[in-house]
Amino acid sequence: MNTDRLFEPLTESDLQPLREIALAEHSAFFARNPYLEAAYAGHLIGICLCQGAASHYLDPRIGVKDFDIWFFYREDPRARIPHRARKRVPDGPKGRPIDFLRRAIPAPEAERYADDPAGAIMAYLLQRDTATKRALLQKAVVGLAPDALFGRILWRGTEDHAASGG
């Protein structure tokens, strides 16, 4: 067993602290980057747990190295969301680090799914072909916010985790 991974199952109640931390980071991001506040603070589409931790939520045999939390915003042509403005919290829930990452969904696509944040996020991930999006789709995507997404499995991933060992 790999000791750098957490194999304790994650439950929906474990998602709540991640949601609260993510919502606090959403506000803190704009305090650190006030030039982006007008363009993005009010245009959050959704926050998701992604990659290995999301797959672990579905299958605890995978293990968790860290929590990858992704923020998806409606794109604003006045400002680009910095893709590489990644923030890491070294000691998150269950002693695992948290990485925060952000993407902007093109406005026409976001508006097409204005009442369906899961649809907007998945359309964005499925209709674009980049290395980042391919990597995200290999593993699960689980909603954290808004309330309509909380605990909802948006994507189960394409990897055979049981066969690959995570």
Residue 6 lies inside a defined structural domain of this protein: no
> Would 56 be classed as within a structural domain?
yes
In a domain? residue 166: no
Percent share of the chain, pLDDT over 70: 93
Contacts with 16 (C-beta within 8 Å, 6 or more apart), sequence order = none
Does an H or E element contain 159, and which?
A: none
- Token digits for 77? 């042509």
For residue range 93-139, what is the model confidence (pLDDT) as tens digits? 999 999 999 999 999 999 999 999 999 999 999 987 788 888 889 99
Q: What is the pTM of this model?
A: 0.91
Residue 114 lies in a domain: yes
Token duo for residue 90: 């070294």
- Decide if 30 is inside a domain: yes
- Domain assignment present for 2: no
Domain that holds residue 43: 12-161
Containing H/E element for 101? strand 98-105
Report how many domains make up the chain: 1
Tokens standing for residue 3: 């000791």
